[in-house]
Amino acid sequence: MYAFTYHRASGLRQAGNMLAKLDDPKLLAGGQTLLPTMKQRLASPANIIDLNQIEGMSGIELKGRSLTIGAMTRHYEVASSPVVQEAIPALAYLAGLIGDPAVRHRGTIGGSIANNDPNADYPAACLGLGATIITSKRRIAADDFFLGLFETALEPDEIITKVSFPVPKKAGYYKFRNQASRFALVGVFVSKRSSEIRVAVTGAGGNGVFRVTAFEEALKKRFSAKSLDGLTVPADNLASDIHGSAEYRAHLIGVCAKRALDAADK
């Protein structure tokens, strides 16, 4: 690590001010990406603004057909919450697949989606459910939030405060892990809410999480794995590396989507 100055934000407004005014600042939520990156000297923020002491930034609330999760809510809280397990079980399941117990007890949903790692799970859930990302400044639809690899619509001094998920009729997630990192090599989140059907893919995209509109169309007739028979995703624009070629990822998208649909039925 390089030397840095640590600031403990006592409130959201103060955190925002620090973000705007301090030199080369970075927010610290769970630190599960930021701290290892700093230890490897791949990141060197001059100022760290710790959000962990701010009251009211975590919590899970179901209001009508809307499930809202505070940005600082830890993965294990989402995974083990009876509210989430009841309202959107696929979301609880996804949270329980992130990392390992140590990671899940520190990592946060706000941190995960602000980072937008192309292999992370939450971006697939947000895009796959049509979530709304609520920040210190505005409300951003998931469709407009994830812009590219590690890139989001957030402005430099903008802080995610909550994520709001519409409760679907059915939803499922299937994650095929990279054997080394255990991040998603390909992860597919599917959901059906009245007329809207979403299929969101993480891990495979060359530009981060994306929706497979061809699959969504096919699923309109019937929201089940059989509807995807014979459909393939083109390999161009998919990521290719030592862990999986674009062709393999394209194939896995089909497999994972079907398995997510099977899970959605349970």
Partner 1 sequence: MSATGIGAAVRRKEDFRFITGKGQYTDDISRPGQTSIYFLRSPHAHARIGKIDTAAAAAMPGVVAVLTGAEFAESKLGSLICGWTVLSKDGSPMKMAPHPALAHGKANHVGDGVAVVIAETLAQAKDAAERIVVDYEVLPAVVDPMKAAARGAPQIHDVAPDNTIYNWHIGDPEATAAAFRNASHVTTLEFVNNRLVPNPMEPRAALAEYDPGTESFTLWNTTQNPHVARLVISAFVGMAPEHKLRVIAPDVGGGFGSKIFIYPEEVVCLWAARKVGRPVKWTADRSEAFLTDAHGRDHVTKAQLALDREGRITGLKVHTTANLGAYMSTFSSAVPTFLYAPLLSGQYAIPHIYCEVDAVYTNTVPVDAYRGAGRPEAAYVVERLVEVAARELNMEPATLRKKNFVRTFPYQTSVASLYDTGDFEASLNKAMKIHDVEGFGRRKREAERRGRLRGLGFSAYIEACGVAPSSLVGQLGAGVGLWESAEIRVNPTGTVELLTGTHQHGQGHETTFAQVVSERLGIPIENVTVVHGDTDKVQFGMGTYGSRSGAVGLSAVVKALDKVENKAKKIAAHLLEAAEGDIVFRDGKFSVTGTDKSVAFADLALQAYVAHKFPTAEIEPGLKEGAFYDPTNFTFPAGCHICEVEIDPATGETQIVAWTAVDDFGTVINPMIVEGQVHGGVAQGVGQALYEHTVYDDRGQLMTGSYMDYAMPRAENLPSLKVDTTVTKCPGNPLGIKGCGEAGAIAAPAAVMNAITDAIGTEKIEMPATPQSVWAAIQSVNNNRRAAE
Chain contacts with partner 1 (rule: CB under 8 A): 1-3, 40-41, 176, 178-181, 242-245, 248, 251-252, 255
CA 63 to the chain's CA centroid: 21
3-state secondary structure 214-230: HHHHHHHHCCCHHHHCC
The label of the residue with tokens 């649909």 reads: 261
Q: How far apart are CA 28 and CA 8, in angstroms?
A: 9
Q: Which is nearer to partner 1, 231 or 255 (CB)?
A: 255
Least distance between partner 1 and beta carbon 3 (Å) = 8
Least distance between partner 1 and beta carbon 38 (Å) = 12
Output the six-digit token pair for 153: 């619509």
Q: Which is nearer to partner 1, 162 or 175 (CB)?
A: 175
Please enumerate in sequence order all residues whose Cβ is within 8 A of that of 158, keeping only pairs 6 or more positions apart, or say none: 16, 135, 136, 137, 138
Q: Which is nearer to partner 1, 134 or 256 (CB)?
A: 256
Least distance between partner 1 and beta carbon 252 (Å) = 7
Contact (CB, 8 A) for 200 and 188? yes
Q: Which is nearer to partner 1, 55 or 180 (CB)?
A: 180
CB atoms inside a 10 Å sphere around CB 62: 16
Q: Which is nearer to partner 1, 7 or 251 (CB)?
A: 251
Q: How far apart are CA 202 and CA 211, in angstroms?
A: 9
Residue 204 sits at the vertex; the CA angle it makes with 228 and 147, to the nearest 5 degrees, is 110
Q: Which is nearer to partner 1, 3 or 55 (CB)?
A: 3
Least distance between partner 1 and beta carbon 179 (Å) = 4
Least distance between partner 1 and beta carbon 248 (Å) = 5
Q: Is 181 helix (H, G, I), strand (E, B) or coil?
A: coil
Contact (CB, 8 A) for 163 and 126? yes
Least distance between partner 1 and beta carbon 6 (Å) = 16
Q: Which is nearer to partner 1, 17 or 245 (CB)?
A: 245
Least distance between partner 1 and beta carbon 211 (Å) = 22
Q: Which is nearer to partner 1, 194 or 242 (CB)?
A: 242
Q: How far apart are CA 178 and CA 175, in angstroms?
A: 9
Q: How far apart are CA 38 and CA 9, in angstroms?
A: 20
The label of the residue with tokens 């990279």 reads: 178
Least distance between partner 1 and beta carbon 135 (Å) = 30
